[in-house]
Structure 1
Amino acid sequence: MGSNIDTMIYMLPAVLIGLTLHEFSHAYVAMLLGDTTAKNDGRITLNPLKHIDPLGMIVLLIAGFGWAKPVKFDPTNLKHPKRDRMLISVAGPLQINSWCHIPFTN
């Protein structure tokens, strides 16, 4: 059991950073595309406390999966709503996947 706790302690910073960057990316792209909802909600920040959902974090620690607070946006503020909704949606996953292409060496 100690090994599982050790693993969670080591993984927690990476999970917090990943969830924060993921949600920040959604919020930032929405702002770039003309919607100020996320900015007005204080979500254009790298502060994990603004992005972490308490219940999602507890479930993550217990069950191994969880979630962060979703970023709200108003499609009526977007110039090209159909295209921009897609861009906002893929911003988080693309940001996380971009880290996979950075070579890590010893």
Structure 2
Amino acid sequence: MAVRPDLSARTAPAEVPVASTTICDLGAAGSDRIVITGSNAITSFGTAANRRIRLRWAGSVTVTANPASLVLSGGADITTSPGDIWNVESDAAGNWRMIGCELAALAPGGADGGTF
């Protein structure tokens, strides 16, 4: 049986900061780990094809859902909180879909006392 490499020795790539703008082009960031800074509303993540990206939100930003190009959980606009983490992926046409999230308020020690 092969020995599994020590996961503690692995490091995640550094987050790349990207300022929030109407069209927040995730594909241009050059990383799959991004921290979104600023407070400008976002209506698009650009059109990068076949990408999976981890987003961490540094502030409160309203992200506008679009059923064709920016599909969000619940199908409605979302206002982020500092520390929220989203996982998003794009299809071959560059349309984005939120595939998971971790809300800062639900994390241990968060605003609700860590109850999940």
Q: TM-score, normalised by structure 1?
A: 0.24
Of structures 1 and 2, the one with the larger relative CO (CA 8 A, separation 6+) is 1
Q: TM-score, normalised by structure 2?
A: 0.23
Larger strand percent:
2
Larger helix percent:
1
